Amino acid sequence: MRFHKPYGVLSQFTPEGRWRGLQDFIDLPGVYVAGRLDADSEGLLLLTSDGALQARIADPRFKMEKTYWVQVEGTPGEAALAALRDGVRLNDGPTRPARARRMEPPPAVWERDPPIRVRQRIPTAWIELVIREGRNRQVRRMTAAIGLPTLRLIRAAIGPYSLDGLAPGTWQAATVPAEPGG
């Protein structure tokens, strides 16, 4: 199934501290999240009842692309985008090359609650970033490494599955292919 995870929701059914869990949105026994998305990130989660399929979707060895829309503080120039495309050196090693482009015009997205912080004198921009890895907070660390801190992070797609037609907090059944990306 496809689920549009809102800001402030964990990628697990049980809530923790100030963060809500998936149980507030999904009442289906026996489904598990295939991959994670931080509570302060939004967007597409895939859930399945097939453990082997869950592992294939989440495991970077299978190279399923993940597409993110990233609102950053600052204006990305061609050098910053090229750095993302070449791979960025992080404290746990270099990232694989990514596809990166500035989103002009910015994507038409829903209002976030709470809204992002806005600084009057510092512009913001949107980047579409497509990666095949899934390290902890990787996208945020990649944009920070090129001097563009992430303000808002939305996962728009995982392989062939996207957020299309899903409002925040809603889910829809989906047939996941046996081989990711196929």
Position 35 scores a pLDDT of 83
143, 136 Cβ separation under 8 angstroms: no
Judged on CB neighbours under 10 Å (0-12, 13-18, 19+), 46 is buried
What confidence tens digit (pLDDT) does each residue in 40-73 have? 999 999 998 888 877 777 777 777 899 999 999 9
56, 62 Cβ separation under 8 angstroms: yes
Active site residue 59: no
Q: Provide the percentage of residues in the chain whose pLDDT is more than 90.
A: 71
What confidence tens digit (pLDDT) does each residue in 73-123 have? 999 999 999 999 999 999 999 999 999 999 999 999 999 988 888 888 889
Catalytic residue among 38, 40, 50, 86, which?
Answer: 38
Mean per-residue pLDDT of the chain: 90
Which H/E stretch holds residue 58? helix 51-58
